[in-house]
Amino acid sequence: MSFLKNIFVLIKQVPDQGSKAGVNLDGTIDRAKARRMLNPFDRYALQAALDAKKNYGGQITAITMGPPLAIEILFEALEHGVDNTILLSDRSLAGSDTWATSYALKKTINYLGEFDLIFCGLQTTDGDTAQVGSQIAERLNIPQITYCEDFKIENEKIIARRVIEGGHQTLKAPLPCLITVANSYKALKYKTIHGAKLVQDIMREEEKKNKYIKILNINDIKANPDFLGIKGSPTIVSKTEKISEISGNCKILKGSKELSLELKEILK
Amino acid sequence: MKEILVLAEHVDNKLSPITFELLGAARSLADKLQARVACFLLGYNIKDQIQALFSAGADRVYIAEHPELKDYRTLPYNKIISDYISSLEIKPHIFLIGATTTGRDLAPRLACKFNSGLTADCTELDIGEFDYNSKTDIKRSGLYKDCLYAIRPSFGESLKARILGPWNNPQMATIRPGIMLPIKPIENKQGEIIEVPINLTKNDLEIEIIESFREINNEIDLSSAEIIIEGGYGLANAQGFDLLRELAGCFNNASLGATRKVIDEGWMPYKYQIGQTGKTVRPKLLIACGVSGAIQQRIGIQNAGCIVAINKDACAPIFRFAHYGIIGDLYHVIPELIKELKEF
Ligand SMILES: Cc1cc2nc3c(=O)[nH]c(=O)nc-3n(C[C@H](O)[C@H](O)[C@H](O)COP(=O)(O)OP(=O)(O)OC[C@H]3O[C@@H](n4cnc5c(N)ncnc54)[C@H](O)[C@@H]3O)c2cc1C
Ligand SMILES: Cc1cc2nc3c(=O)[nH]c(=O)nc-3n(C[C@H](O)[C@H](O)[C@H](O)COP(=O)(O)OP(=O)(O)OC[C@H]3O[C@@H](n4cnc5c(N)ncnc54)[C@H](O)[C@@H]3O)c2cc1C
């Protein structure tokens, strides 16, 4: 069966939490110093998009907004088998909160045109708000299903199971629809041979690169700069502090004897 | 008069704990601002819950009743709340919503409608001033009074950020469940009831609920347990909990707890679930056995005085925030530990 046309998947590059490099005390990130990675939650969104294509057809476009270096995660998406990629990159986007980010991404989606499904990760590991997906759906005026762990398409409607407190809920929604994919969805599979080869070629051939990776700025998508960046964001981080209690100082004990002694101390 | 608005949540017409937590939080902010507390209640045949909202701190209840509103769905709830608030000349000063699977689904859409800032998953709230002087953002610079300080953990819970959105009302935040304290109910407290107009179109109703399954959460008091022995998927089967029961028996008054994966497998009932969609706990001691430490789990246990992790995988995320760890097979470690504890 092949009736889907366009599937979009939104992915974000985040600092690698394993390495503390580049994360300043005030919560800002020195993106040049930080080790970078694809937001782990977006791996599930990618897998969901690949599953949708496999079962129902269509072309997948992976979209990211970020600094030029964020192109790295587009290579990764291509290796996994997406068909096209978009990098929205512009200085005036720096410091955007979720309101402004969702505005910029919505304009990017409008620029690209029609679609059947948009997949987002549940949340990121840096901003960690889980807000951008729903805000894009609101701006596009389409339905959404959040916390999705499984889905199928029947009679041109999506039927999806979502996580709720104490259980699950199954919803049916018309297309186009935006889905945020939970980390209880299937894990992302290995890269494809075809994808890996394609990325190797892209690295060598500028022309091929331009075919598979489109770089846009805010003029291309006709975004109003007043709604972007720090100035366009309705929230501001006014202060950050380190939380000291739980900060990765796990004392590894050799065995039960040591542990039982520690427990005696703790419970005294 | 300023208004602090909260969204009521309910399951099968029974108000959820988050509703009382939000009202408690709103009450203490309202006292600082000399403001009133209002509560938005959407549902069907739900008027009998209004008194409980007044008793829990609401001065005013906005009610929308309609068969299509019986269970939460994104679009109709979004429409009714946003239509109503947009129609008000003076918007609520603050709007608080639970950081539940419902609240986190709805709040971002509402924030877009109001062009409000939305702070996610807050664990502390306060009121204060904000003196903003930015060289690049001159238009919005100035001194702002009575701002909502929404404070949230960030970066894998290692930082605390205070986030403000003073430029536009309502100032919005979602609030992590299990953190804020409800007030002591005031019996027979009166309040004002306002019926909200309902204008739903076909488009608002286009998402259907095929099925909802929830295990009912009979209160066992995990939230106030001093010692918790928690089991994860690493136990491999339901019988694993026999071993944990034996371990619990070595302490005075220890309770059992479990991860969502355990609940999904049916090894334990939902009332034992800890985490984002279960309980937030703050025991003196929590021993996590075969628990990987996913973010939704971490949220539930990180306020424990001491976390001990027993896990055979040295790379499991739980070792990044546990206080003590043993890397090993729990089926070796725990029987030994029981022996040690019994000897004392
Ligand atoms: C410490 C800290 C706290 C913050 N708190 C808040 C807050 O409370 N409220 C607020 O409005 N902003 C907040 N921000 C800003 C927020 O991080 C940015 O707006 C960011 O651009 C997007 O939000 P997110 O990372 O939380 O994404 P989420 O909403 O968690 O992301 C969900 C999904 O949306 C998609 N997505 C998100 N960003 C992009 C992107 N750039 N490109 C492509 N797809 C994307 C992905 O599929 C992702 O999985 C905070 C930032 C920091 C550093
Ligand atoms: C919206 C949403 C809400 C959620 N809410 C919650 C929630 O409230 N609570 C919650 O817990 N989760 C929640 N989750 C699920 C969460 O993401 C994880 O999937 C879950 O916490 C994993 O449970 P676990 O640690 O038991 O299992 P796993 O992640 O499978 O971990 C099992 C661990 O056991 C270890 N292990 C295996 N065998 C042994 C052995 N013999 N000895 C020692 N160690 C062993 C393994 O190394 C592994 O680390 C939620 C997810 C979503 C999407």
Closest of B123, B130, B132, B127 to residue B159, by C-alpha:
B123
Q: What is the mean pLDDT of chain A?
A: 92
- Please tell me the residue having the least CA distance from ligand 2 atom 31: B292
Residue A99 Cα, ligand 1 centroid: separation in angstroms? 9
Q: The domain containing residue A149 runs over which residues?
A: 6-267
Q: How far is A239 from chain B (nearest CA, A)?
A: 5
C-beta atoms of B208 and A171 within 8 A: yes
Residue A166 Cα, ligand 2 centroid: separation in angstroms? 15
pLDDT, tens digit (0-9, with 9 covering 90-100), for B246-259: 999 999 889 999 99
Q: Residue B223 in contact with residue B281, Cβ under 8 Å?
A: yes
d(CA B343, CA A184): 42
What are the percentages of helix, strand and coil residues in chain B, rounded to 5?
30, 30, 35
CB-based contacts of A53, cutoff 8 Å, min separation 6? A4, A7, A59, A60
Position A267 scores a pLDDT of 85
pTM value > 0.90: yes
In a domain, A138, yes or no: yes
Q: CA dist A47 to A81, A204, B295, Å?
A: 10, 27, 20
Task: Please give the average per-residue pLDDT across A52-80, as a whole number.
Answer: 97
Position B303 scores a pLDDT of 87
Three-state DSSP state, B296: helix
Q: Using an 8 Å CB-CB cutoff, list chain B residues near A138.
A: 78, 108-109, 112-113
pLDDT at A27 > cutoff 70? no
- Please tell me the residue having the least CA distance from ligand 1 atom 7: B119
CATH code of the domain containing A244: 3.40.50.620
Q: Residue B257 in contact with residue B228, Cβ under 8 Å?
A: yes
Choose, out of B155, B169, B263, B319, the residue to mutate when testing the contact with A (most A CBs < 10 Å): B155
**In the structure, which protein residues have their CB atom closer than 6 angstroms to any atom of ligand 2?**
A 147, 163, 182-184; B 232-234, 259-262, 273-278, 290-292, 294, 296-297, 300, 310-313, 316, 329-331
pLDDT at A193 > cutoff 50? yes
Q: Using an 8 Å CB-CB cutoff, list chain A residues near B284.
A: 266-267
Position B221 scores a pLDDT of 74
Q: The tokens 């204060």 sit on which residue? A: B128
d(CA A50, CA A54): 6
Q: Both tokens of residue B112?
A: 């877009």
Choose, out of B72, B81, B104, the residue to mutate when testing the contact with A (most A CBs < 10 Å): B104
Position A29 scores a pLDDT of 58
Q: Decide if A39 touches B, using CB distance below 8 A.
A: no
pLDDT at A245 > cutoff 50? no
Q: Residue B234 in contact with residue B263, Cβ under 8 Å?
A: no
C-beta atoms of A167 and B214 within 8 A: yes
Q: Total structural domains in chain A?
A: 1
Strands B10-11 vs A144-154: parallel, antiparallel or unpaired = unpaired
- Hey, which of B230, B233, B336 would you mutate to test ligand 2's pocket, going by the most ligand atoms within 8 Å of its Cβ? B233
Give the torsion sign (CA, B233, B238, B239, B245). positive
Position A249 scores a pLDDT of 79
ipTM at complex level: 0.92
Q: The tokens 């496999």 sit on which residue? A: A54
Touching B: A residues 114-173, CB under 8 Å:
125-135, 137-139, 143-147, 159, 162-173
pLDDT, tens digit (0-9, with 9 covering 90-100), for B123-173: 999 999 999 998 989 999 999 999 999 999 887 667 889 999 999 999 999
C-beta atoms of B213 and A135 within 8 A: no
Task: Please give the average per-residue pLDDT across B313-322, as a whole number.
Answer: 92
Q: How far is A162 from chain B (nearest CA, A)?
A: 9
Q: Using an 8 Å CB-CB cutoff, list chain A residues near B78.
A: 138
In a domain, A165, yes or no: yes
Q: Using an 8 Å CB-CB cutoff, list chain A residues near B333.
A: 255-256
Q: How far is A99 from chain B (nearest CA, A)?
A: 7
Higher model confidence: residue A36 or residue B219? A36
Task: Please give the average per-residue pLDDT across A172-188, as a whole number.
Answer: 96
In a domain, A1, yes or no: no
Please give the helix or strand (H or E) that residue A46 lies within, else none.
helix A40-56
Position A214 scores a pLDDT of 98
Residue A129 Cα, ligand 1 centroid: separation in angstroms? 6
In a domain, A169, yes or no: yes
Q: Residue B19 in contact with residue B9, Cβ under 8 Å?
A: yes
Task: Please give the average per-residue pLDDT across B273-290, as a whole number.
Answer: 94
pLDDT at A79 > cutoff 50? yes
d(CA B230, CA B318): 13
Task: Please give the average per-residue pLDDT across B201-224, as a whole number.
Answer: 84
C-beta atoms of B104 and A138 within 8 A: no
C-beta atoms of A243 and B161 within 8 A: no
C-beta atoms of A146 and B121 within 8 A: no
Q: What is the mean pLDDT of chain B?
A: 94
Position B292 scores a pLDDT of 96
Position B342 scores a pLDDT of 87
Instruction: Quote the percentage of chain B above a pLDDT of 90.
Output: 88
CA B300 to chain centre: 10
Task: Please give the average per-residue pLDDT across B52-77, as a whole number.
Answer: 98
